[in-house]
Structure 1
Amino acid sequence: MKKAVLYLSIITTSLLLTSCLKKEDQKNEIKSKKYTKLEDVKWLIGSWGNTTKEGNLTETWSQKNDSTLSGKTTFIAGKDTLFTETIEIIQTKDSLFYNTSVSNQNEGKIISFKSSFASKNEIVFENSKHDFPQKIEYKKIASDSLVAKISGNKQGKESFEEYPMKKK
């Protein structure tokens, strides 16, 4: 009888431990899968730039938290900062959003673009209600280069601008 109780105690304890381990593994699995869309665009993290005769473009990305990448874009010509943009790419549920605030535009309000396409090498955000651009794209060319492109309807005409950048 004592052996039966001992065996039963060992089996019960083993089942309880196994059950707890499985629940913890499931929690970790859910936590690691929670922001998978954001994981696919982490190649943006780092400092990127391009120098042309018009000036110096710099875009820097970092991870703010599990669900957010934080970015800042500046364009400097000579000693003058002509353009500053603060950006966040946020994963909310199964969607990515590109939220931007551009200096001296839109009364300082944040403009949001929703991802319409995302892969490990490209991300596209769109907002058909915005004046220009309506589409923002980032395409990874190689581990040290990307092209950012803005496009849409500008004063009744289709227009786009491309910004090739190298990792610094």
Structure 2
Amino acid sequence: RCKAANFTPMHKSILAALLCTLVACGGGTESSNTTVPGPPAPPLNATFDRLIGEWNDVQADGNTVFHEQWTRTNDSLYTGLGFVMSGNDTVFIEHLTITTDARGTRYSARIPSQNNGAFVDFELVHGSGDSLVFVNAAHDFPQRISYTPLPEGWVVVVSGMQQGKARTERFRFDRRRS
């Protein structure tokens, strides 16, 4: 039989720490639905910062060019502009943001001629160094937007269902050279 008087101060500290751990973890053998967190993911800002700059995707015809331009406004807001040029004509334009707040991280797109000019939000469902995936299942098209970084660019895929059929558009953006 052990007596408390036989424990050194170090033994008492270890025993107290173990007791606290058992109490904090429930002390029982019941299974729990909680998961043990792994190593922390790299900060999303590091991945979002890779978007900063001007990006082009020149189509096979050589005449049509998709553009995206991103800036970091502050720690929780990135602002972008997407547009398509066909020759010297701008044939499409959209205003983009990536916002992080208490509700999470959202990619928002506003096409002035659609949705009464309002932004459409897509929630971040996967964000890491290997890709950014945003989803809005209720949107007509696209429902999913993903950005996958490359050494000198991005692959952007917009996908979803449109009029009952699967549709995917893929873009390869390279950094615009001055």
| TM-score, structure 2 as length reference | 0.70
CA-to-aligned-CA distance 1:96-155 (integer Å, 9 cap, x gap): 10111013111201100000000013100000000000001100021x111111000011
Deviation at 1:37, TM superposition (A): 2.9
Partner of 1:27: none
In the aligned structure 2, how far is the partner of 1:158 from the partner of 1:57? 22
Percent identical residues:
30
- Aligned counterpart, 2:121: 112
Q: How does 1:32-47 map to 2 (within 5 A)?
A: 36-47=43-54
Q: Could you list the runs of 5+ residues in structure 1 that have no partner in the other structure?
A: 1-35
Alignment counterpart, residue 149 of structure 2, candidates 140, 149, 162 = 140
Instruction: Determine which of 167, 170, 173 is the counterpart of 1:159.
Output: 167
1:120 and 1:90 mapped to 2: Cα distance? 18
RMSD of the TM alignment (CA)? 1.4
Higher helix residue share: 1
Structure with the bigger RCO (C-alpha within 8 Å, sep 6+) is 1
Given residue 91 of structure 1, which amino acid in structure 2 is its aligned partner? T
Give the counterpart of 2:137 among 93, 115, 128: 128
| Contact 1:41–1:120 under 8 Å retained in 2 | no
Question: Which is greater in Rg?
Answer: 2
For structure 2, which runs of at least 5 residues remain unmatched after alignment?
A: 1-42
Q: Distance in 2 between matches of 1:37 and 1:150?
A: 21
Q: What is the CA–CA distance in structure 2 between the aligned matches of 1:79 and 1:161, rounded to whole Å?
A: 23
Give the partner amino acid of 2:45.
L
Partner of 1:72: 81
Partner residue of 1:89 out of 94, 98, 116: 98
Deviation at 1:93, TM superposition (A): 2.9
TM-score by length of 1: 0.74
The answer to whether structure 1 residue 103 and structure 2 residue 112 are counterparts is yes
Total equivalences in the alignment: 132
Give every structure 1 segment of 4 or more consecutive aligned residues whose post-TM-superposition deviation is greater than 6 Å.
Answer: none
CA distance in 2 between counterparts of 1:134 and 1:94 reads: 19
Aligned residue identity for 2:101: T
Q: Name the CA distance, whole Å, in 1 between partners of 2:112 and 2:128.
A: 30
When you count strand as a share of all residues, which structure comes out higher?
1
SS in structure 1 of the partner of residue 170 of structure 2: strand
State the match for 1:149 in structure 2.
Answer: 157
